[in-house]
Amino acid sequence: MKIVTIVGARPQFIKAATVSRIIRANPAVHEILLHTGQHYDENMSEIFFRELGIPLPDYNLEVGSGSHAVQTGLMLKGIEEVLLKEKPDCTLVYGDTNSTLAGALAASKLHIPVAHVEAGLRSFNRAMPEEINRIVTDRISDLLFAPTRTAVINLSQEGLADITCFTGDVMYDSVVYYKERILQNPAKYKTAGIPEKYLLATIHRAENTDNPGNLKNIFLAFSSLNQEIVLPVHPRTRKILQTSPDLPGNVHIIDPVGYLQMLKLTMDATRVLTDSGGLQKEAYFLRKQCITLRSETEWIETLHDHWNIIAGSDPGKIEAAVAGDLPTAPIQEGFGNGKSAGIILEKLLLF
């Protein structure tokens, strides 16, 4: 069986590393890895391939940044050329980025079956580009791998139950696997020059970075917190911050870090403040309370017992969440058993 796996953004590298490790251990499957180049600089791309042991891509489209239309159009052209050349039995796409949508579109128009990992997530906010990507990808896919029971319900309500399979979350597989590596040599993955005690924050979604009011309110909240904040900054966000007012003195901006270093930062943080879906989950898996800097979340399983608190960009809600008690309840087992990648391969072989 020949599979073309399409990735392009940092979260997809993490997911693909887990699944590709299982796929490539099976001699009955030949995987071709296509990198769109959506995330392309050293700290957002190459370091992930090195540290996660992902094989170098067989193809790199080097699309880079651009508007949604330009980026997706360039990807469609490049992906189609690769699919016509390789003639795979199946195309595997991940998550909710422009790379996901372009991969699914190109394959479906060539009548190549599409399998979508992390299907069925819904924020019910169509102002999010990611929401559009999710909905369209699920509609044109042939096999949907749902990471949670909520995702299964969403897909069933959309009439897609027959092609849906609950697998659990491959990111949970990843955290379980790589946490052990970090614990074996924690000093190796510690970030130099950061405070001993800190809150970990990330901001990258357009609803915050492209909205001066939201961004201003988030940093206003940060400035009022009597704690140090470590903020790894995506290149796009750094460019926006360069035109913003002075940052609060308690905010320590650092360059993006690799996946293992980011896991270590999460493990050592007091709390996490983020608009990232992936980091919400990683915080949950690592038993760190998360304050979500958005008005909704796709990962409603993380909300129980205040493990995840929706604060948006409201300074009062952010401050109240950080001032509250840390949760003590056990996390729930809504994300599978850490063996999602094996289930995915099993279903692909029956596809």
Mean pLDDT over 261-290 rounds to: 97
pLDDT digits (tens, 9 = 90+) for 207-231: 898 898 999 999 999 999 999 999 9
Domain ranges of the chain: 2-169+336-349, 179-323
**pTM to 2 decimal places:** 0.91
Q: How confident is the model at residue 343 (pLDDT cuts 50, 70, 90)?
A: very high
Q: How confident is the model at residue 156 (pLDDT cuts 50, 70, 90)?
A: very high
pLDDT of residue 39: 63
Structure tokens at 12: 């997809």
pLDDT of residue 244: 65
Distances (CA, A) of 137 to 29, 43, 165, 173, 209: 24, 28, 15, 23, 25
Is residue 204 annotated as part of the catalytic site, yes or no?
yes
Better pLDDT: 42 or 334 = 334
Q: How confident is the model at residue 45 (pLDDT cuts 50, 70, 90)?
A: low
Backbone angles phi, psi at 251, to 5 degrees: -100, 120
Mean pLDDT over 7-24 rounds to: 91
Rounded percentage of the chain residues whose pLDDT exceeds 90: 81
Mean pLDDT over 55-78 rounds to: 91
Q: How confident is the model at residue 48 (pLDDT cuts 50, 70, 90)?
A: confident
Query: Is a pLDDT exceeding 60 seen at residue 303?
Result: yes
Q: How confident is the model at residue 142 (pLDDT cuts 50, 70, 90)?
A: very high
> From CA 48, how far away is CA 54, in angstroms rounded?
8
pLDDT digits (tens, 9 = 90+) for 91-113: 999 999 999 999 999 999 999 99
pLDDT of residue 243: 66
Mean pLDDT over 262-284 rounds to: 97
> From CA 83, how far away is CA 86, in angstroms rounded?
5
pLDDT of residue 193: 93
Mean pLDDT over 57-80 rounds to: 92
On whether the 179-323 domain is CATH 3.40.50.2000, my answer is yes
**2-169+336-349 and 179-323: identical CATH topology:** yes
Q: How confident is the model at residue 40 (pLDDT cuts 50, 70, 90)?
A: low
Class of domain 2-169+336-349: alpha beta
Matching residue, tokens 């969440």: 321
**Backbone Cα Rg of the chain:** 20
> From CA 108, how far away is CA 81, in angstroms rounded?
14
> From CA 179, how far away is CA 310, in angstroms rounded?
26
Query: Is a pLDDT exceeding 70 seen at residue 191?
Result: yes
Residues facing 329 on adjacent strands: none
Catalytic-labelled residue, pool 35, 116, 204, 234? 204
Query: Is a pLDDT exceeding 90 seen at residue 241?
Result: no
Contacts 24+ apart (CB under 8 A), 291-298: 291/318, 291/321, 291/322, 293/203, 293/208, 293/218, 293/318, 294/205, 294/207, 294/208, 295/125, 296/123, 296/124, 296/125, 297/123, 298/121, 298/122, 298/123
> From CA 34, how far away is CA 8, in angstroms rounded?
8
Mean pLDDT over 9-35 rounds to: 93
